[in-house]
Chain A
Amino acid sequence: MKRDTKGSKKWRIGDSRNWRNFIKTVSIIGVVSLSLGFFGSFFQAQAMESEIRIGHTAALSGVFANAGPLIDKGLRLAFSLSKYKNRVKFFLEDTQVKPDVAVQKALKLYEKDKIHILVGPMAGHEAAAVSAVLTPMKKLMVEGFGANAYLVGKDCSRYTFMLGHTTYNLSVPMAPWFLKTLGDKVFLVGSDYRTGRDVALFFRQAFEKIGGKVVGEFYSPLGTTEYAPYLSKIRDAKEKPDGVFGFYGGADCVNFVRQFEEYGLKKDGYIYVDTITGFAIPQLKAMGDAAVGFYDCFHTVPYIDSPQNKSFMAAWQRAYPDEMIEEFGMVGFDVGTCIIKALDAVGGDPTNTEGLASALHTIEYESPRGKIRMGPNNGTIVPIYARKVVKNDGKYRHEGTFLGYYGTPCGPQYEWGKCKLGCPSE
């Protein structure tokens, strides 16, 4: 078939009319693109200006991998219920429970993602590293879990806030409780890193002050999987302890408690008391019955009967029907709520770092955990509970004993020193 080329418009070199058309078309496309780019950038900048950018350095892998996503869910839930729900943008990063990675991710979030507030990281040694880098930069860090007492002591900062707890208020209140409930002889254990060591040290100081006696101690490397050789030290102690106290978190706590039972210590009447929510609800399903009858210490008891907690539980179940009510999500929710309240105080302007810092410094509110108040050293004063693990209708729950409201005092007489911002009384 012969193709009819008659009337076809082919551009030929040297045809000045077609060249003019070509240049005209390219110019129009160029102008339109540039305009779109300009207005796009303008509107994007406008959108970014109204955005509230929250960075979260969480433990999504490593021994605390179970906690990170739950804290994040709680944080998002708090914002989804606030007036900022359409303005907030979250940036989540995994720190792998490594301080160097946590610092790198925190800097990336502030410098590349242009966040306004950083939440996390998870572990105490990570928190210390990140705060040391962010403080000179005058960048905000709001901590839900990193239980480092030094961050409300000599390393405190106007820009770092410990909204959850410290190694002090989750160990010292347990000393009189231990003496009264279990006895005056304790065997100290723990993961061999800052948090594990601090918990044992602060507990020992408080326990010995009131007449208690430490009959032995050991600290095993973070991530230990076989505890049998360590557990034999408890049996070999010169005096049988009335209880074993210390901090193991995440997968370490699961292994420790299961082997504590497997090697017959539980059956022989040894009682283990963990802290910093070692027996959190998500942990208990992996431990099974091994944890029943043991205790831990935390600043909330899931399913506690208060209006704030009831509304939190209802919101959580609506948002995450497949997730249990548990401690990590609740702390994440609290951290989110504190940030929202601070934003309210500065008229919703997330760029007002000084205003946000001042608002967080004086924050006080009724949370699902109970009444929360910020101390002068940027550490919260929270209700503390000794919690016994029980099994009701096949479900693992906690029976909480309220020990009182505790913050973290500071001063030269304490290991963690004096905070330049001020110190709450003991």
Chain B
Amino acid sequence: MTFSTMIANLLYGVTIGSTYMLIACGLSIMFGVMGVLNFAHGSFVMLGAYLGFTFVKLTGHFWLSLFLAPLAICLLGGIIETSMIRRLYGQGVLSTLLLTFGLSMVFSNTVLLLWGGDSYSIQLPYYFKGFVNVSGIYYPKFRLFVLIFSCLLISLLWVLLRRSRWGLVIRAGLFDMEIVEAFGTDIYKVFKLVFIFCSGIAALAGVIIGAMRSIHPVMDVDFITVALIVIVIGGLGSFKGALIGSLILGMAEAFGAQFIPGLAKFTTWILMAAILLLRPEGLFPEG
């Protein structure tokens, strides 16, 4: 492997990891604060991608779709939280896991019904087409944008979690939600906002991924699998763990594809098994 190939693969790994970050951080926060392992999180990413595709088709505006699709999924998230998830608080992780697993199947079939089995992709604005050539390394402009956008968004989330009042409540909630409630915070309001917010982030990731790759009705399974691996590696409920886990997974995919192409996906599982053997609670356990 040449030096430039290694740098290129590092870059590919970071880009793959940055999209995983967008998907996994929401799932991780949701689990940490609410104790809900949302199996339908991958479906929110998929629905975001499909809605983004439809909005771009209808309006012709990528940026508008990047705003509208997450908004619609926030609304959906709000409805699901109020009408279904709320009834299962305090009944253990398994009950919400089963509920959201069922929801993911409903969404999967709804997508097949509404959009069919064809593959689609979101049309990009002309200025995102093409690539940049940095000393022999070809890098698509849009992926460069995804990398920067993800880093900015994650930084913003980090600042929100560290510096805002809501961030304080969420961080406190990661440790002990009952104490937070004892201090007079409306716990259900926090839950609802967290669920809505994380659903929106998932949809945002969906629009971005839909412009990078093909959109198809089983993409939700790929995303939820990746997100679960990431949060298991990083530590359940840990924001920092989700970030580091995403990067590790991205790198494993990029370098796995380079060294053992046929077993590229296998490398992620080996990595997860190795980390869990050494640190069963993940790399950065919360609490």
Contacts and interface: CB of A to CB of B under 8 A. Distances in A.
Contacts of B263: 221
Interface in B1-48: 1-2, 5, 8-9, 12, 15-16
Contact of A286 (B1, B119, B142): B119
B112 A65 contact: yes
B15 to A, nearest CB: 8
Contacts of A229: 9, 12, 253-258, 264
A230 B261 contact: yes
Contacts of B2: 236
A288 B123 contact: yes
A218 B254 CA distance: 14
A251 B212 CA distance: 13
A61 interface: yes
A275 B112 CA distance: 26
A192 B15 CA distance: 24
B138 A263 contact: yes
Given A63-B216, A263-B140, A68 B117 contact: yes
A250 interface: yes
Given A229-B12, A288-B121, A251 B216 contact: yes
Contacts of B262: 192, 219-221
A251 B214 contact: yes
B186 interface: no
A287 B261 CA distance: 24
B216 A65 contact: yes
A327 to B, nearest CB: 13
A232 B8 contact: yes
A225 interface: yes
A282 B118 CA distance: 7
Contact of B118 (A66, A221, A259): A66
A69 interface: yes
Interface in A226-244: 226, 228-230, 232-233, 236
B116 interface: yes
Nearest to B116: A69
B218 interface: yes
B222 A225 contact: yes
Interface residues of B, number: 42
B261 A250 contact: no
A140 interface: no
A61 B264 contact: no
A41 interface: no
B258 A62 contact: no
A61 B112 CA distance: 8
B143 interface: yes
A66 B133 contact: no
A228 B254 contact: yes
Contact of B117 (A61, A263, A265): A61
Given A65-B217, A251-B119, A264 B131 contact: yes
A60 interface: yes
A283 B119 contact: yes
Contacts of A282: 118-119
Given A220-B257, A220-B264, A255-B213, A62 B218 contact: yes
Contacts of B214: 251, 254-255, 258, 286
Given A258-B214, A263-B131, A288-B123, A60 B5 contact: no
Contacts of A348: none
A259 B1 CA distance: 21
Given A66-B117, A263-B131, A285-B120, 17 more contacts: A61-B217, A65-B217, A192-B261, A219-B261, A228-B12, A228-B254, A229-B258, A232-B5, A254-B121, A254-B213, A254-B214, A259-B140, A264-B131, A264-B138, A285-B118, A287-B121, A288-B123
29 contacts: A61-B217, A63-B218, A65-B118, A65-B216, A65-B218, A220-B257, A220-B264, A221-B263, A221-B265, A226-B16, A226-B213, A226-B254, A228-B8, A229-B253, A229-B257, A229-B264, A232-B5, A232-B8, A232-B9, A233-B261, A236-B2, A236-B5, A251-B119, A258-B213, A262-B142, A286-B118, A286-B120, A286-B121, A286-B215
